Amino acid sequence: MINPLFTFQIEAVQNRARAGSFVTPHGVLETPSFAPVGTQATVKSLTPEQLSDLNASLILANTYHLHLRPGDKLIKEMGGLHKFMHWSGPILTDSGGFQVFSLAKKRVIDQDGVTFRSHIDGSKHRLDPEKSIAIQENLGGDIIMAFDECSDPYDMQYSREAMTRTHQWAERCQRAKTRSDQALFGIVQGGIQEDLRQESAQVISNLDFPGIAIGGLSVGETKPEMYRILEVLDQALPGEKPRYLMGVGTPEDIINGVRRGVDIFDCVLPTRLARHNAAMTRFGGRMNIVNAQYAQEEQPIDPQCECYTCQNFSLAYLRHLVISKEMLAATLLSIHNLHTLIDLVNQIRNSIIAGEFEDFFQQFDQKYAENKPAGRMQI
């Protein structure tokens, strides 16, 4: 059923890459799009004004964390997430499903839902599809997620069980949803098994969500395996719905995802790298700012970068902040890292509209291969 508050229009296509616009009650989301992650209603170390200056168009917040602290009912009483965190643009809330996967030692899964212990104080909680939707309705995001279960990508039996529960929970989420000003996305699961992914894509597509998320990737599988599954889903998912690849956000994964039909991305990586003193580069490299080679370096992280950090500060200054454990280091590095990804998706979008995406991809791929051996660090 079409909801006039949420419309998706594809403006240009080159091969499988798409440039589009997803209209929400809090603004238009131009795609491809990268969403900074504000797990606890804040993108770490940055103000909403700084995010606006970066041209961020969508922010992700976390159902599990905000339910535990400060509480979704309190946020509702305070006017919802937009007012609470002073963000006027679109907000996406995840369902808490990934925490089902990541809190393996603190949870018990059954057919109806999940019982888990809080990572904060050990208190006992219950999360199921109906509870997840109720929390997300209290939070008031524009895009909300169906409650799902993410599995070990290499465990086929568990992947099938988790996929089946995800399908059952998706239907329960649809029945539980009451707000017309929120778009509920279904989530495709199935590990790295092509047949499971095709089955999941068909089931979720038949439920006619206004958008579809791809879950259970970037959780331990190799990049070729992830790209293979995206190619399978590109053929299996309806072309008229926006596609959201959950938790993926390196430059190489974004451009390869777009090339396989993905529209929306999010990831904690840019701000996490910043808190670990690392700067992202445009073609996949990472610079460890602590390195002594930067102690007297007058150049910025990237002389061609137009972000506030690179336009105003040298590597020597950034290294000084890091060594001195100044909070400003995380802010300036987060600005640069987020700019790197947001600027990348904007360039990708422009190249699709201009009919030049394949050339853009080939140039990126060549420069990525040249930069890959140098400056890499794992966080």
Q: Cβ distance 129 to 164 under 8 Å?
A: no
* Judgement on whether residues 243 and 306 belong to the same structural domain of the protein: no
- The pLDDT value given to residue 102: 79
Q: Is residue 185 part of a domain?
A: yes
Q: Is residue 184 part of a domain?
A: yes
Which structure tokens are listed for 212?
């579809």
- Residue 238 exposure: Cα atoms within 13 Å on the Cβ side: 16
Please report, for the domain that includes residue 126, its CATH number: 3.20.20.105
The answer to whether residue 378 scores a pLDDT higher than 70 is no
CA 186, CA 177: separation in Å to the nearest integer? 12
At 313-333, the pLDDT tens digits run: 999 999 999 999 999 999 999
The whole-number average pLDDT for the span 208-228 is: 96
- Picking from 233, 267, 301, the residue at the C-terminal end of a domain is 267
The answer to whether residue 300 scores a pLDDT higher than 90 is yes
* Judgement on whether residues 133 and 258 belong to the same structural domain of the protein: yes
Q: Cis check for the bond before 32: say yes or no (omega within 30 of 0).
A: yes
Confidence of residue 101 (pLDDT cuts 50, 70, 90): low
Percent of the chain with pLDDT over 90: 89
CA 82, CA 68: separation in Å to the nearest integer? 19
pTM of the model: 0.96
Active site residue 234: no
At 159-174, the pLDDT tens digits run: 999 999 999 999 999 9
* Judgement on whether residues 262 and 278 belong to the same structural domain of the protein: no
Q: Cβ distance 149 to 101 under 8 Å?
A: yes
Q: Which of 360, 152, 153, 333 lies closest to 251 in space, CA to CA?
A: 360
Pairing assessment for the beta strands 211-214 and 183-188 based on DSSP bridges: parallel
Q: Is residue 129 part of a domain?
A: yes
**Strand ranges in 219-298 using DSSP code E only, listed in sequence order:** 243-245, 264-267, 278-280, 286-288
* Judgement on whether residues 14 and 38 belong to the same structural domain of the protein: yes
Q: How many domains does the chain have?
A: 2
* Judgement on whether residues 120 and 249 belong to the same structural domain of the protein: yes
What is each CA distance from 190 to 129, 146, 153, 235, 355, in whole angstroms?
Answer: 19, 15, 8, 16, 33
Q: Cβ distance 117 to 64 under 8 Å?
A: no
Q: Is residue 280 part of a domain?
A: yes
The answer to whether residue 118 scores a pLDDT higher than 90 is no
Q: Is residue 377 part of a domain?
A: no
- Picking from 267, 292, 310, the residue at the C-terminal end of a domain is 267
Residue 321 domain boundaries: 274-365
Q: Is residue 343 part of a domain?
A: yes
Q: Is residue 218 part of a domain?
A: yes
- The pLDDT value given to residue 379: 39
More confident residue, 262 or 152: 262
* Judgement on whether residues 295 and 355 belong to the same structural domain of the protein: yes
- The b-or-e profile of 210-231 (16+ CB within 10 A means b, else e) is bbbbbbbbbbebeeeebbbbbe
- The b-or-e profile of 36-66 (16+ CB within 10 A means b, else e) is bbbbebebbbbebebbeebebbbbbbbbbbb
Q: Of 102-106, 203-207, 340-344, which gets the smallest average pLDDT?
A: 102-106
Burial of residue 327 (CB within 10 Å: 0-12, 13-18, 19+) is exposed
More confident residue, 245 or 118: 245
CA 289, CA 316: separation in Å to the nearest integer? 9
More confident residue, 308 or 376: 308
Average pLDDT for the chain: 95
- The pLDDT value given to residue 285: 87
- The pLDDT value given to residue 374: 45
Percent of the chain with pLDDT over 70: 97
- The pLDDT value given to residue 148: 96
* Judgement on whether residues 24 and 43 belong to the same structural domain of the protein: yes
Give the distance, in angstroms, between the CA of residue 322 and the centroid of all CA atoms in the same chain.
Answer: 27
Catalytic residue among 72, 234, 266, 302: 266
Q: Is residue 243 part of a domain?
A: yes
- Picking from 246, 267, 288, the residue at the C-terminal end of a domain is 267
CA 199, CA 163: separation in Å to the nearest integer? 9
* Judgement on whether residues 229 and 283 belong to the same structural domain of the protein: no
Residues in the chain: 379
- The pLDDT value given to residue 284: 81
Active site residue 72: no
CA 119, CA 306: separation in Å to the nearest integer? 39
- The pLDDT value given to residue 376: 42
* Judgement on whether residues 241 and 286 belong to the same structural domain of the protein: no
The answer to whether residue 142 scores a pLDDT higher than 60 is yes
- The b-or-e profile of 264-303 (16+ CB within 10 A means b, else e) is bbbbbbbbebbebbbbbbbbbbbbbbeeeebeebeebbbe
* Judgement on whether residues 258 and 287 belong to the same structural domain of the protein: no
* Judgement on whether residues 260 and 324 belong to the same structural domain of the protein: no
Q: Of 7-16, 82-91, 147-156, 163-172, which gets the smallest average pLDDT?
A: 147-156
Catalytic residue among 94, 148, 253, 302: 94
- The pLDDT value given to residue 73: 98
* Judgement on whether residues 137 and 23 belong to the same structural domain of the protein: yes
The whole-number average pLDDT for the span 114-142 is: 94
Q: Return the H-helix or E-strand segment holding 18.
A: strand 17-24
